[in-house]
Amino acid sequence: MSFLTTVHYYYSLRKNLNYSRKKILALREKKFRKLLKYAYKKIPFYKDFYTSNGIKESMLEEIPIYELPTINKNLMVANFDKFFKDNQITKNKVEDFLKNNPNPTSLLFNKYHVIHSSGSTGTVGYYLYSEREWDFIKAISTRMFSNFTLKRKKYVFIGAVDGHYAAISLFFSPLNQPEKFFYKGYMVMDINKPIKSYLKDLNDFQPDNLTGYPFGIRSLAQFQNEGILNIHPEVIVCGGEPLLKNVKQFLKDVWKDTEIVDSYATSESLAMGVSREDLKGMYIYDDAVYLEIQEDKTILTNLYNYTQPIIRYELTDILKKSKDNKGKWPFTKIEQITGRNELIPFFINENGEKDFIHPIVIAEFFVKGVAKFQFVQKDQSSFVFKIVVSQKERLDEIVKEVRNKLNDILEKKKMQNVNFDVKIVEDIKPDEKTGKYKLIVI
């Protein structure tokens, strides 16, 4: 049934590309009103939240979206158990599930996909999707390809792989499903292992599609440029972090005949937008999300997630609309996305070589009982990992688990020579100068 649902969504979403801008905005509004009414009636948090702000059910049909109060990650975390119609979903059960089921293909209660991430805030958040909603994400993800076909291809992913991270969860989605037929072969590269260790296998595999974090793909491009790697993918899909102009240009210089795609997604919505060469810019999926683009932030309403409705949620991403109104698609066109860059900590490993720990490996760090954290690099051989603990009664156990997790990361990277301390703090404050929180401090 899952595959048929994906196919249904695929053809429905294809039709939207031919709609007028006016019709797309009307569709977005219709989806928003439906979600808003559902959340008010079925989700305990929204009923209480809106009522306390003077919003009655009779107002939902006409109240302007900007008159609804916003929410943020801290508010969601504090009220997590009240964000679901399914009352068996609790923060404690989700955390236990993540602790005991690290395989990204495993489902909570055999029915919910769970994504965890701290993003750039350091506060750990959990985001759930039903299988039907996941089918929608898979269908809309086909928009990443300018010439999507049913041809079987060989796929490679480079990124964080040992947990319920967004990218690897989507990459593994076809497994154990009829869609696996379209994977002629697949290969997974753990960004937290030395990239050099994969080069021979990658040369032998010769992927058609290469997907992953831009920094990891840029590292592969450098090896290609040096003649150590020799692959010729048809498409490269970048996601998880900003694809900077100079990085995109370098990839294009190295792989001249390869299409470079930039996929925009967050844990709060795994389908946000895409930039392709034929589109000449990035488009936001206005038929999947409602983005209110403001000067210093972006406010997200996820239009397809009814499992955990997210309405007027503040993102730190800063989007700049394109001045070019003549687009290929009837969607909002974006010039650039800023505010998502993280510093990359480099260390000298056991072999005396300089190597990095990818920011997403840090951002998606998970240990039950750790509510917030920050990575502070002191020099090329040491760091401090600050944690805010939510379960003080398990303090010693939590610190031990954090140490074990950090040791695993260092062991994979052949960085067991790097020293670290785990420091328990009451809170982690924003930077005094900028007023913004930094996940990684160097």
- In tens, the pLDDT along 270-298 reads 989 999 999 988 999 999 999 999 988 99
**What region does 323 belong to: left with phi over 0, alpha with psi -120 to 50, or beta?**
alpha
pTM: 0.90
> Tokens 């059960």 label which residue?
93
Domain 1-341: give its CATH architecture.
3-Layer(aba) Sandwich (3.40)
- Give the integer Cα–Cα distance in Å for 129 and 84: 11
Report domain extents, the chain.
Answer: 1-341, 346-441
**Per-residue pLDDT tens digits for 385-439:** 999 999 888 999 999 999 999 999 999 999 999 999 999 999 998 877 666 788 9
SS3 readout for 21-37: HHHHHHHHHHHHHHHHH
Report which residue type is found at 343: L
Burial of 38 (0-12, 13-18, 19+ CB in 10 A): middle
Q: Any idea which architecture 346-441 has in CATH?
A: 2-Layer Sandwich (3.30)
Looking at residue 339, what is its pLDDT?
61
Task: Determine the pLDDT at residue 323.
Answer: 83
Calculate what percentage of the chain has a pLDDT beyond 90: 81
Residue 159 near residue 363, CB atoms below 8 Å: no
* 261/209 Cα distance (integer angstroms): 11
SS3 246: helix
pLDDT at position 176, please?
Answer: 74
d(CA 14, CA 285): 12
